[in-house]
Amino acid sequence: MWNAAVHSEYLHDHSDYGFDIENVRFSWETLKAKRDAYVSHLNRIYRSNLDKAKIQTIQGQARFTSDPEPTVEVNGQKYTAPHILIATGGQPSVLSDAEVPGASLGITSDGFFELETLPKRSVVVGAGYIAVEMAGILSALGSQTSLIIRQTGVLRNFDSFISVNCTKELQNSGVDLWKNSQVKSVRKTNGRLEVTIVTKDPEKKNEEEKTRTIEDVDCLLWAIGRQPNTSSLNIGKTLDTDERGHIIVDEFQNTSRAGIYAVGDVCGKALLTPVAIAAGRKLAHRLFEGKKDSKLDYSSIPTVVFSHPPIGTVGLTEEEAVKSWGKENVKIYKTSFTPMYHALTSRKSQCIMKLVCVGKEEKVVGLHMQGLGCDEMLQGFSVAIKMGATKADFDNTVAIHPTSSEEFVTMR
């Protein structure tokens, strides 16, 4: 879906590069059909791989029992083993109608993939990466999109340099951003939704809150966080969990009960598919290959947000580095520029880059960027940072010209 949205953006630039593209039309239906067929193809491949590996697949809802040995029950049948791994992932958080009247009239990111047509008018609620991605895709593909956020910026857990720039890019791209706002109620009228929003600027304490309504909404999408898939596992007295239901594990993915392990979103740490895969591999090496010290290092995990333009980030934010090392021991290098691609286009989008360095040797502990191609740039730089690269190492690397990535090795 993000690739389709990028195609839509590039269409705006074609005339600047000399291409005549009159009468271009977009079909959500065609895209959905091809996407769904591809996902079904992947599902068949994964199932085939399981069969080839002679892995028994049991379909059903598993729940832990009170048996002395770690045991799960599925469809009335009990299963026990020396090792039981929980990898049930997470699901979108939802609000009840009691919390926000009419909240159930909206959908989540799961429902987004079930949409049969492109909504003409969309409202996305949330400020995290899923909200940013959903709003960007819908807007780029032609849906009039509003994004409702509780504070003044999106991606507040990211480096402030990224948060501020991404907020600006959203607005520049045409997303209608409602800051300091929350949904008060939702109701259906004439087949569409009417979303009532309350706005209150905390800086203006004497100002009354404003109540406004967005009408004729085809799609209200809640992207207000995720919660672990643990509620049906019956682990209440079996395993320790935190206040949100995430399973508590140690550095080796051990839960509070011997023989039961957990990886991925269900643990509430670094909610990324490759993280779960890597943690699972390390656990398998430890349990079945005798590598007793095998565990995943959760530091400096690279993350990409498929915003417009994309974001790449790895390591500590400036704020985290200052907290850990002290402001006097942190050195920041950053730059902002217009990528060469946009030299000829009337549509402009900046590329921003930042290095967070610590100590006399200026070890690079954080790298943050947003701009064209930043999603593909990040992996290589992440290897360097994981290996302990310093600013001098970056400086000693010859630049590749003309590219945006060369800015990281020419910063002064």
Strands 303-305 and 84-86, sheet pairing: unpaired
- pLDDT score recorded for residue 134: 98
Does the annotation count 342 as an active-site position?
Answer: no
Tokens 């029950």 sit at which residue? Answer: 73
Q: Which of 351, 356, 368 is nearest to 403 (CA)?
A: 351
- pLDDT score recorded for residue 53: 97
- pLDDT score recorded for residue 61: 96
- Is-contact 86 238, C-beta < 8 A? no
Burial 100-111 (b: 16+ CB within 10 A, else e): bbbbebbbbbee
Parts of the chain with a pLDDT under 70: none
The residue annotated as part of the active site, out of 12, 83, 342, 401, is 401
DSSP H helical segments within 15-108, as ranges?
Answer: 28-52
Which residues, in sequence order, are CB contacts of 353 under 8 Å at separation 6+? 334, 335, 336, 367, 368, 369, 371, 404, 407, 408, 411
- pLDDT score recorded for residue 206: 82
